Amino acid sequence: MLLPPSGRLLAVDWGQVRLGLALSDETQFLATPLETLVRRPGKRFPMPRFLELVGAHRPVGVVVGLPLTGEGEEGPSAAAARELAETIGRRTGLPLELWDERMSTARALAAIREQGGTTRGRKSDVDALAAAVVLQHYLDARRASEAR
């Protein structure tokens, strides 16, 4: 399903334990880190908090990062991300798109280090920033394809 061309988009960077969230601006030009949700061991995605954030920020669509292997294949993590995406779509009723998230965490770590920062003790910051990297990549790619 195609996402609307304007209005805020919410991105989810899937992880076994932490799920980074990012939000775009209304014009869908810039992505910023929002929050990191933590899944307790053996527990499901923290949907109540996610739905609170959806209510507060009123996104028009959701981009869920799809963790592909280095070769572009889908493994167990991608299957789990697809399952999460289906649940999010069902619970929010929002249009949703899956987007390749390969290297998003590595890019987030590199950005922090380039700024002279450290990642020690900042795992949740890294996950939210990784979600922003995924969302920014999505926004930039969509803008580039529309320009063609």
pLDDT by residue, tens only, the chain of 148 residues: 589 999 999 999 988 888 999 999 999 999 999 999 998 877 778 999 999 999 999 999 999 999 888 788 898 989 999 999 999 999 999 999 999 886 555 565 555 556 555 555 555 577 888 899 999 999 999 998 888 7
The CATH fold assigned to 9-147 is Nucleotidyltransferase; domain 5 (3.30.420)
pTM of the model: 0.86
pLDDT digits (tens, 9 = 90+) for 71-111: 888 989 899 999 999 999 999 999 999 998 865 555 655 55
| Cβ-defined contacts of 105-111 (< 8 Å, 24+) | 105/13, 105/130, 107/133, 108/132, 108/133
69: its two tokens:
């292997």
Partner residues linked to 18 by β-bridges: 38
- Secondary structure letter of residue 70 according to DSSP: T
Q: CA 21 to CA 124: how far, in whole Å? A: 10
* Domain-wise residue ranges, the chain: 9-147
The pLDDT, as a whole number, for residue 136 is: 93
Cβ proximity of 51 and 85 under 8 Å: no
CA-based R_g, the chain, Å: 14
Residue 134, classed as helix, strand or coil, is helix
